[in-house]
A and B are shown apart, each in its own frame.
Chain A
């Protein structure tokens, strides 16, 4: 018997009053406990899908079930299972973080003493406890984003949906958010993440769907998707300008400038032979980095292919 998925989207469509068809009958399944990336270019339909799942957008056709509970026929029960961190900051600017968290719990029918206890726990974990009594309008953008995560956690949802939670947040705070969300996922909460930081998705997520023009164009595991990448490009900083670049089987080398070269390495090849050849040619490599994130390369290719097909 198959376990009940955290999310089961069936033939979901949305056409706005303006005539824009944001979702074209998509189907999607996210297993319980997964850390799932939902990626796509701007305007692909990600936020519409998330809006429908959180009952902020009315679907035109189809259904979605959260742990088997339909958002169309059992809205209230389905919403009790979801926590949402929206893309846009939607906090009451004149309330305090503690009030926002406790009120949020109230909307889920959670008693005030429990709500106060949870609010303290999540605000502390997200390094906001010292701001608990300040009006939201005095908080920085990063703090507001963390507060929206704390707010979403107040109902301790089984499915947490994060719509670009780290947009515009500095790397230090972003990393602390990753750590928090990973811990939430490890504790059993299913997480769906949309982000434009693809290294974030690659690092955190186990499965992935790419949506474009209202359709799912890829739905697989992160490992399988990355395995389809037939080449990987590295940038090598050299100790000195080489007289000539050597030939390496399975690797295409070309100079970016006098002391920097780019190496496009086929999946069938390996880095040991590249370094051995460079070393034999008297070329010293001081440092090496990926030219782009691997997922980024695949993402761009898939979306470009989608455009050509369209």
Chain B
């Protein structure tokens, strides 16, 4: 396929993903809006008013905004690609792509971009909701943007790999329930890792979500518990390793070809 044909194939997959997100918006966009509104009301307003400032001039509700946005981005990027690609496998229409000239990297890119767009749309929705409760001043736009993009890509790739190995719908629910949710809650969304004592603080450093949340918090609020370079190293490292693994799996046909 030449460059133009590749771009048409890529656009086809990405367009189909976006169309799916918008068609079932009550399942893809609305739940995060409701959940995050509850978080802002309960943790931000009711509990947060008793906690006070997390840093000079930064109230608790401001502190949790970046973490809640990242939580929404992570769960939506992961959930979008795992459910969409597994549905394609389950109904066998993934064969449309596998039996076509479209190369594996285009298939993967199209699905990742679809998940990325859902992550970004949900991030904007959560940000808009947060503005009803507090005022956010963007400190580092490029850090904010690159962190959200890299995080979304990393979890899209992870969701894709989950879908490749999944044999039934239960298999794509296991990882979000037993891995993603605990890691997100323990990833510094609601607290500073500096508030933890040994050994929990050291254990927390093994959680990649901690780095993503802190990098994003630095972008939005200008504060972080960790050096920025460490966060970028973790995000880029995961993005490269998971991309290579996902491409290897499609090219070999693991879970896709007999």
Question: Please, how many angstroms separate the alpha-carbon atoms of A151 and B95 in the complex?
Answer: 12
Is B257 within 8 A of A109, CB to CB? no
Q: Which residues of chain A are near B2, meaning CB under 8 Å?
A: 109
Is B99 within 8 A of A58, CB to CB? no
Instruction: Say yes or no: is A268 at the interface (Cβ < 8 Å to chain B).
Output: no
Q: Which residues of chain A are near B20, meaning CB under 8 Å?
A: 94
Smallest CB separation, B258 vs chain A (Å): 5
Q: Is the interface of A mostly helix, strand, loop or mixed?
A: loop
The interface bits of chain B over 180-199 (1 if a CB of A lies within 8 angstroms of the residue's CB, else 0) are: 00000000000000000000
Is A58 within 8 A of B258, CB to CB? yes
Instruction: Say yes or no: is A243 at the interface (Cβ < 8 Å to chain B).
Output: no
Given A58-B257, A151-B96, A109 and B91 contact (CB-CB distance below 8 Å): no
A3-11, A74-82, A209-217, A258-266: which one contacts chain B? A74-82
Closest B residue by C-beta to A53: B99
Is B91 within 8 A of A93, CB to CB? yes
Q: Is the interface of B mostly helix, strand, loop or mixed?
A: helix
Count chain A residues whose beta carbon lies closer than 8 angstroms to a beta carbon of B: 35
Smallest CB separation, B107 vs chain A (Å): 9
Is B258 within 8 A of A109, CB to CB? no
Instruction: Say yes or no: is B227 at the interface (Cβ < 8 Å to chain A).
Output: no
Smallest CB separation, A96 vs chain B (Å): 10
Q: Which residues of chain A are near B102, meaning CB under 8 Å?
A: 76, 107-109
Is A90 within 8 A of B100, CB to CB? no
Is A106 within 8 A of B8, CB to CB? yes
Smallest CB separation, A133 vs chain B (Å): 14
Instruction: Say yes or no: is B50 at the interface (Cβ < 8 Å to chain A).
Output: no
Instruction: Say yes or no: is B52 at the interface (Cβ < 8 Å to chain A).
Output: no
Instruction: Say yes or no: is B101 at the interface (Cβ < 8 Å to chain A).
Output: yes
Question: Please, how many angstroms separate the alpha-carbon atoms of A61 and B258 in the complex?
Answer: 14
Interface residues of A in 205-254 (CB under 8 A from B): none
Is B5 within 8 A of A108, CB to CB? yes
Is A90 within 8 A of B5, CB to CB? no
Is B257 within 8 A of A56, CB to CB? yes
Q: Which residues of chain A are near B135, meaning CB under 8 Å?
A: none
Closest A residue by C-beta to B20: A94
Instruction: Say yes or no: is A84 at the interface (Cβ < 8 Å to chain B).
Output: yes
Instruction: Say yes or no: is B103 at the interface (Cβ < 8 Å to chain A).
Output: yes
Smallest CB separation, B17 vs chain A (Å): 11
* CB pairs A–B below 8 angstroms (24 shown): A51-B258, A54-B95, A55-B98, A55-B99, A56-B99, A57-B257, A76-B102, A80-B101, A82-B99, A84-B95, A86-B95, A90-B92, A92-B87, A103-B96, A106-B8, A106-B9, A106-B12, A106-B15, A107-B12, A108-B9, A108-B102, A109-B2, A110-B8, A111-B8
